[in-house]
Amino acid sequence: MDAVRGEMMEARFDGPIEEVGGGPALGDTEDLVVRIKNADEDELWVVLFEIAVLTEEGFVGEDGGTLIPALLNRLASSKCENRLKMIEVLRKLASHSTEYKEKMAGVEALSTIVRSLSRNVDESREAVGLLLDLSEVLKVRQRIGRIQGCMVMLVTLRNGEDSIASEYAGRLLVVLSGNAHNVLLMAEAGYFSPLVRYLKEGSEMNKILMANAISRMKLTDQIRSTLGEEGSIEPLVNMFTSGKLEAKLSALGALRNLSILEENIKRLIDSGAIEHLLQLLFSVTSVLVTLREPAAAILANIAESDRILTKKGMALQMLSLLNHSSSAIQIHLFQALNRIASHSNAKRIRTKMRENGALQLLLPFLTESNDQIRIAALNLLVHISKDFDPAGECFDQIGVAHLNLLVNIIAASTSDNEKSAALGILSNLPLNDKRVTDILVKENLLPVLISLFDMTIARTLNPTKMCLLENIAGVMVRFTVPWDKKLQRISASHGVISCLLKLLACGSIVAKSKAAVSLGQLSQNTVALVEVKPTRWMCVPSSSETFCDVHNGNCVVKTTFCLVKAGAMSPLVQILQGKDREADEAVLEALATLLKDEIWENGSNAIEKASGVQALVRVLEVGNLKAREKAVWMLERIFRLEGHREKYGEAAQLVLIDLAQKATPSLKSMIAKILAHLQLLQMQSSYF
Which tens digit of pLDDT belongs to each residue from 331-361? 999 999 999 999 999 999 999 999 999 999 9
Determine the pLDDT at residue 442.
95
pLDDT, residue 35, reads: 83
Q: Provide CB contacts within 8 A for 403, sequence distance 6+.
A: 426, 436, 439, 440, 443
> How much is the CA Rg of the chain, to the nearest whole Å?
40
Residue 179 to residue 490: CA distance in whole angstroms:
77
Q: pLDDT tens-digit profile of 505-524? A: 999 999 999 999 999 999 99
* pLDDT above 90: percentage of residues in the chain: 68
**What's this model's pTM, rounded to 2 decimal places?**
0.83
pLDDT tier for residue 62 given thresholds of 50, 70 and 90: low
C-alpha dihedral (392, 396, 401, 407), degrees to nearest 10? 10
Q: Is 436 helix (H, G, I), strand (E, B) or coil?
A: helix
DSSP 365: G
How far is the C-alpha of 156 from the C-alpha of 173, rounded, in Å? 11
Tell me how far apart the alpha carbons of residues 357 and 319 are, in angstroms, rounded to a whole number: 10
| Sign of the Cα pseudo-torsion (164, 166, 169, 171, in order) | negative
Q: How far does Cα 325 stand from its chain's mean position?
A: 29
Mean pLDDT in residue range 32-51: 80
Q: Could you tell me where the DSSP H helices lie in 561-664?
A: 563-566, 569-577, 584-592, 600-609, 612-622, 625-638, 642-660
Instruction: Give the separation between CA 391 and CA 389, rounded to whole angstroms.
Output: 5
User: How far, in Å, are 234, 391, 484, 493 from residue 434 at the CA level?
Assistant: 55, 12, 10, 20
pLDDT of residue 145: 85
Alpha-carbon distance of 400 to 407, in angstroms, equals 11
* pLDDT tens digits along 440-472: 999 999 999 999 999 999 888 899 999 999 999
> What DSSP string describes 110-159?
HHHHHHGGGS-HHHHHHHHHHHHHHTTSHHHHHHGGGSTTHHHHHHHHHT
The answer to whether the CB of 251 falls within 8 A of the CB of 280 is no
pLDDT digits (tens, 9 = 90+) for 553-603: 889 899 999 999 999 999 999 999 999 999 999 999 999 999 999 999 999
- pLDDT tens per residue, range 265-309: 999 999 999 999 999 998 877 778 889 999 999 999 999 999 999
Q: Is a pLDDT exceeding 60 seen at residue 535? A: no
- 550 in Cβ contact with 594 (< 8 Å): yes
Tell which residue, 59, 51, 55, 47, has the closest CA to residue 18: 59
- What confidence tens digit (pLDDT) does each residue in 614-654 have? 999 999 999 999 999 999 999 999 999 999 999 998 889 88
How far apart CA 364 and CA 221 sit, in angstroms, is 38
* Cα 353 → chain centroid: 27
DSSP 553-574: EE--HHHH--HHHHT-HHHHHH
Q: Is 104 left (phi over 0), alpha (psi -120 to 50) or beta?
A: alpha
DSSP 8-state symbol, 65: G
